[in-house]
Structure 1
Amino acid sequence: MRILRPALGVATAVLAVLACTTPATPASAADAPYDVLVFSKTAGFRHDSIAVGTQTIRDLGAANSFTVTATEDAAAFTTANLAQYEAVVFLNTTGDVLNATQQTAFESYIGSGGGFVGVHSAADTEYGWSFYGNLVGAYFASHPAIQQANVKVENRAHPGTAHLPQTWTRTDEWYNYQTNARSTARVLATLDESSYSGGSMGADHPHAWCKTYSGGRAFYTGGGHTQASYSDAAFRAHLLGGIRYAAGRAKADCRPESGYTALYNGATTGWSQAGPGGFTNSDATLTSSGGLGLFWYSAKQFTNYSLKLDWKLAGDDNSGVFIGFPPSSDPYSAVNNGYEVQIDATDTADRTTGAVYTFKSADIAARDAALNPPGQWNTYELLVEGERLQVFLNGSKINDFTNTDPARSLAGHVGIQNHGAGDDVSFRNIRIKELGSTPGGNTTVQAESFSSAGGVTPFSKAGANGGQTLGYIDPGDWAAYQGLDLTGVTSFKARIVSGGPGGTIQVRTGSTTGTVLGSVAVPNTGGWTTFADVTTNLSGVPSGTQNLYLTFTGSGSGLFDVDDFTLVRGAGGGTGTGPVKGLAGKCLDVRNGATADGTQIQIYTCNGSAAQAWTVTANSTVKALGKCLDVSGGGSADGTKIQLWTCNGTGAQNWSAQADGTLRNPQSGKCLDVSGNNSADGTAVHLWTCHTGANQKWTLP
């Protein structure tokens, strides 16, 4: 958004849109030249499509800036030889095709940032080599006869699938796999088993996916059995996109993804347009027109969440994603009360792509390394935890911003901007995962979102989180909130504002006359626009889901407003499911998402996968993938391995969260520790004498 912020009167900020020039028609920029190795050795079934597939990749290279070396000689797999290639394609390989020395060279190549593309029976290759199995993502199990089927394209931002329709109907040999790749890879497309015969994986049958692994990039497609596949323009573009991603010439968010709810994927239910202009809606794609306006999700406000969406610029265009604003038909309300994450790669540092507009520049070097140019799709993740906003572009973190302005909040509505005539920006697949509580397991509730009430009503107020407060509070009024988990709650904090006499908040359960768990005095804060926090300890708090009541006392009328309140949990309170975050904000992770007893536990960049979804029970177990966090052999020596193991109720699987942030194994008296205080992905965790250093601090769900 290119705007000026002149003053109007005393306190109202308004916008003047700067003149826009007509953007140049974008040209598809050629990739910097690179080299690809096509490897098609077979030690099992040999596909008759290998020759035509090889020639197809040569043709793609001639038209798209890469050279191709094709071989079936495994002797090509040396460290020195592989170093010249940006990507290696395993084209319908089968069986054991590399010896131990060659495997080591390929592992080193991937570890140095190399790219891998697996086509079809690349999944029917090297069953005994676990590194390769993790890289390719899943092994072949079986297949029915060649037939037509519908491929459901769920990620239309990746360069290998962005050109495809939501349903891609084609003929090929359709693989069933031994495992589901979704827990370790970003699934790009799935098979609709109702559209053909012989599928055995059910409703979630991955067909194509991408991932980062051991420092490198991997793309796999289950297509490519038949010779006809390689004359299919859509399949050729699919293969080209995979090669470009693996070679690092196109960027994509290939972190595993689960648990998101679509806000827009073709249907605009729940959305409203504020201001002039709008968006066309075609092919599950929103494209801006006119403006300056805002297309906002009016059906719900959000507090702690991960918002993801795919976007594409036509040229030198301008748009943005707005978060944390109150409901309004005025698009400028979002500017004045929320925050914009900008989309415009050519503007100044504090208002370019990835910037929190006029508040904080993106890390420009990181942004540039992650950004696809106009004409190509990009993916944003906006991760909001309390008043902290982290911005990820194509899976890479490019901004980290904390709101400290009491007149603004990251909680509220979300929306996308149509900036004006000539600013042509498209959006796809807008989706959200609500995180449920603020970091540390506390629960924040917007006070105006009561289930029932007496005497009070929501009141729109600038500076309120979510744009509204619980207002018109007089003595004897009350508000009820159904279904709140009070397990482990030890104190109550409220954000309040008062230009009146003030009063008291009483916290009760059961009814408006239930036992008072705690009460807190609310002072005059100095005016009806000056917010403050008040806090009180609670006692006798029942566990489990309860109905919470706030009752209000005082003298006079118009006592105060309540913006929101937080139920604060003490150490070790309750049961929660989600990520366990530690050193450098990374997540406790089951290595490679494996479920075998003895699997090493590590830290890894948080990715929302099942390997990072832990169920933590207070002063008891920590579970993921159906098994328990375990001290190997029930040991107590510094450095003892921490692993995944079948739950057995022993002291080796008992963990207790401490007030100092550590997670302690009472049997040994020692703590969960990140080895060597090293925050690199893949660093193992182990048992160590408790010292409360940063590598022993954990935030539980």
Structure 2
Amino acid sequence: MKRSLAAALAASLLLLPACPAVAADAPYDVLVFSKTAGFRHDSIAVGIQAIRDLGAANSFTVTATEDANAFTTANLAQYEVIVFLNTTGDVLNDTQQAAFEAKMRSGAGYVGVHAAADTEYSWPFYGNLMGAWFASHPAIQQANVRVENRATAATSVLPQTWTRTDEWYNYQTNVRSTARVLANLDESSYTGGGMGADHPHSWCKTFEGARSFYTGGGHTQASYSEPNFRAHLLGGIRYAAGRTKADCRPETGYTTLYNGSTTGWSQAGPGSFTNSDATLTSTGGMGLFWYSAKQFTSYSLKLDWRLPGDDNSGIFIGFPPSTDPWSAVDNGYEVQIDATDAADRTTGSVYTFQSANLAARDAALNPVGEWNSFEILVEGERLRVYLNGSLINDFTNTNPVRSLAGHIGIQNHGAGDDVSFRNIRIKELGAPPADQTIQAESFSSVQGAQAFTKAGANNGQTLGFIDPGDWSAYNGVNLTGVTTFRARVVSGGPGGTIQVRTGSPTGTILGSVAVPNTGSWTTFANVQTGLTGVPSGNQNLYLTYTGTGTGLFDVDDFTLVKGTPPTGTGPIVGLANKCLDVNNAGTADGTKVQLWTCNASAAQQWTRNGQTWRALGKCLDVSGSGTADGTKVQLWTCNGTGAQNWTAGANSSLVNSNSGKCLDIAGGSSTDGTQAQIFTCNGGANQRWTTP
């Protein structure tokens, strides 16, 4: 009877629409793995056929196997996505697990379906990648799935309440703190739920370079004949393959401003927005739909948007209450939505004030017809824009007439400029802590260095005569909330490194920043670095100085910056608008790092982690901890050494803290494949980088 039902369902799948993507994806290859060492689902065969059908209509090939011997480094190299389809129990040995881990760390994608959560309980990497392990389930029955994130390809076509029949898993842990929950179960709609009001059912996340998608659905054979479930599964596969982007960072603590109800909103000027299916869609006019109920100061605003074509809209922030939409233009700032306009007025730009990082923007942007997500992070007068989870703009308002504090609104630009918005929500952050600037010569105690009167210095003096081994101390400094150290420096000498410590001159290093030769002893520059492990409260702060030679540099003043540290994943863009690239996406220690035409591949996706830059699960590294000009830059296992620490230097440079030299493209050549190296900082175009 089961074999007959499976055959009938498999045949019926051929008659169903295959949920084509909005635009044709670049082709890719998917491995479907369905080995079981425990319970065997009778839906595996129709699940494999469903994925084959989706692939035939959506630019990917499918190889299905239950042979764990397929998990070798060489064999896995041909696949962009690995699907665990209703696997159960321990299905891979240690060698096979190692090959899978390496594949995931290379920037590949994972999709887990249903019993993938009932697999490999003693394998921590798999558990972290997949999200949460199975605990129990009640009988198969109908339930309501609440779709809370409708901005991803896996969920955008689903209704807010998705009623269907399946086997509903309870999980051992709640994944919300480590993944972006896409859908959750309404336990009041069925019996046997065991997780309460917050019961995640589907989610996405990134882990050690891999993109991961999981759905708790897919127990029954009938699941794979449901158009909505097939669309859900297809979207998850496309996300795992990197063919569609999504913000899969964990999210908690947001208050809904719009998710179907327009209470608190007002229309300024002509035109309006229709409101259907918890979606606002612009119509006519040149106006602004603004949240009139409240003004905001420091906050994280998130919303989802979609353009059907070459259209125009934007999100306005920091404007006073007004029934005139031009008041927002004249008094606030607009984060633009229009991918085809000029650099300072295209998607992600602060309209006419600052362009987005266009390479990072292009790598994160979904095409017209697909949903995108913005986070607009405002802390005081600092504005950061994240597109689908990637930082694409970092802007500071310096105009005393304008402010980032005020109302927020969405623009209806005019007839023919169509845009839709969903799920507008906000998290208020409270008043941003004040940054603290300290004159370097105002030390509590010092070894070696001396105050020096210098023209152009703030307060008229610098801390000068700095030699290797010198230090300066500043007692009773409040370090609560400090995330970044920024110093104003000047050097006509060899330069060196500032180390930030607490407690003593040999205390734990919180961060290091290289100081280059700034061009002369009268040419000042700013250098900065992120800090980690910063203790709270009043502390005795020590700056220690290292380098080679004497008369390294002067420090004018330094600022302890408070607030959220910069994060984000994306390309590092340099000479000729080309990207820092890992050769052939290799993951072996010593793999060449080079300049290459930007292509949004995993080999060009770098993530800032403290003072390191990571791609494919490994770190940007100076070979052999070398300090000589021309020492090659490579990929290497992260090891915490100075060879892997990079800080922001003058002229948009990235400075290696161990050598005090800049990330450089050999010979200033923009030819694809040119080796990255370190070289004495000189301000050249081949040492200038735009980071995510």
The corresponding residue for 1:95 is 89
**Structure 2 CA distance for aligned equivalents of residues 212 and 325 of structure 1:** 36
The corresponding residue for 1:125 is 119
Distance 1:151 1:685, change over 3 A: farther
The corresponding residue for 1:489 is none
Distance 1:425 1:655, change over 3 A: closer
| 2:84 match: secondary structure | strand
Amino acid at match of 1:350: D
Return the TM-score normalized by structure 2.
0.64
| 1:416 match: secondary structure | strand
The corresponding residue for 1:434 is 428
Contact 2:348–2:355 (CA under 8 A) maintained in structure 1:
yes
1:581 Cα shift?
Answer: 3.6
Equivalent runs, 1:257-268 vs 2, <5 Å: 257-268=251-262
1:659 Cα shift?
Answer: 6.0
The corresponding residue for 1:30 is 24
Distance 1:227 1:271, change over 3 A: same
CA displacement, residues 236-270 of structure 1 (integer Å, 9 cap, x when unaligned):
00000000000000000000000100111111111
Contact 2:34–2:86 (CA under 8 A) maintained in structure 1:
yes
**Structure 1 CA distance for aligned equivalents of residues 431 and 639 of structure 2:** 26
| 2:250 match: secondary structure | coil
**Structure 1 CA distance for aligned equivalents of residues 203 and 418 of structure 2:** 29
The corresponding residue for 1:225 is 219
**Structure 2 CA distance for aligned equivalents of residues 42 and 273 of structure 1:** 57
Amino acid at match of 2:319: F
Contact 2:483–2:534 (CA under 8 A) maintained in structure 1:
no
Contact 2:340–2:346 (CA under 8 A) maintained in structure 1:
yes
**Structure 1 CA distance for aligned equivalents of residues 114 and 542 of structure 2:** 46
Amino acid at match of 2:251: E
Aligned residue among 203, 208, 216 for 2:210: 216
Confirm whether residue 162 of structure 1 aligns to residue 96 of structure 2: no
* Count of aligned pairs between the two proteins: 467
Aligned residue among 214, 223, 238 for 2:232: 238
Amino acid at match of 2:404: L
Confirm whether residue 275 of structure 1 aligns to residue 275 of structure 2: no
Contact 1:675–1:685 (CA under 8 A) maintained in structure 2:
no
Distance 1:414 1:637, change over 3 A: closer
Q: Which runs of 5+ in 1 are unaligned?
A: 1-25, 443-569, 585-618, 620-635, 641-652, 664-673, 697-701
Contact 2:257–2:424 (CA under 8 A) maintained in structure 1:
yes
Aligned residue among 321, 339, 346 for 2:340: 346
Contact 2:21–2:58 (CA under 8 A) maintained in structure 1:
no
Distance 1:66 1:427, change over 3 A: same
Confirm whether residue 382 of structure 1 aligns to residue 316 of structure 2: no
CA displacement, residues 248-300 of structure 1 (integer Å, 9 cap, x when unaligned):
00000000000100111111111110000010001000000112000000111
Distance 1:242 1:687, change over 3 A: closer
The corresponding residue for 2:581 is none
1:637 Cα shift?
Answer: 9.1
1:572 Cα shift?
Answer: 3.8
CA displacement, residues 437-456 of structure 1 (integer Å, 9 cap, x when unaligned):
214589xxxxxxxxxxxxxx
**Structure 2 CA distance for aligned equivalents of residues 225 and 572 of structure 1:** 55
Aligned residue among 318, 332, 341 for 1:324: 318
The corresponding residue for 1:477 is none
**Structure 2 CA distance for aligned equivalents of residues 686 and 52 of structure 1:** 48
The corresponding residue for 2:130 is 136
Contact 1:639–1:686 (CA under 8 A) maintained in structure 2:
no
The corresponding residue for 2:677 is none
Contact 1:583–1:679 (CA under 8 A) maintained in structure 2:
no
| 2:286 match: secondary structure | strand
Equivalent runs, 1:228-627 vs 2, <5 Å: 228-440=222-434, 571-572=477-478, 581=483
Which piece of structure 1 moves more, 216-225 or 28-37? 28-37
User: What is the aligned-residue identity percentage?
Assistant: 76
Amino acid at match of 1:344: D
Q: 4+ residue stretches of structure 1 with deviation over 3 A?
A: 439-442, 570-573, 579-584, 636-640, 653-663, 674-677, 679-688, 693-696
Distance 1:675 1:280, change over 3 A: closer
The corresponding residue for 2:612 is 678
| 1:291 match: secondary structure | coil
The corresponding residue for 1:207 is 201
The corresponding residue for 1:86 is 80
Distance 1:84 1:660, change over 3 A: farther
1:686 Cα shift?
Answer: 9.4
Amino acid at match of 1:146: I
Distance 1:572 1:268, change over 3 A: same
Q: Which runs of 5+ in 2 are unaligned?
A: 1-19, 437-475, 487-501, 511-532, 544-607, 620-637, 649-655, 658-692
Aligned residue among 174, 181, 194 for 1:180: 174
RMSD over aligned CA atoms reads: 3.1
**Structure 2 CA distance for aligned equivalents of residues 197 and 296 of structure 1:** 42
CA displacement, residues 647-666 of structure 1 (integer Å, 9 cap, x when unaligned):
xxxxxx99554467789xxx
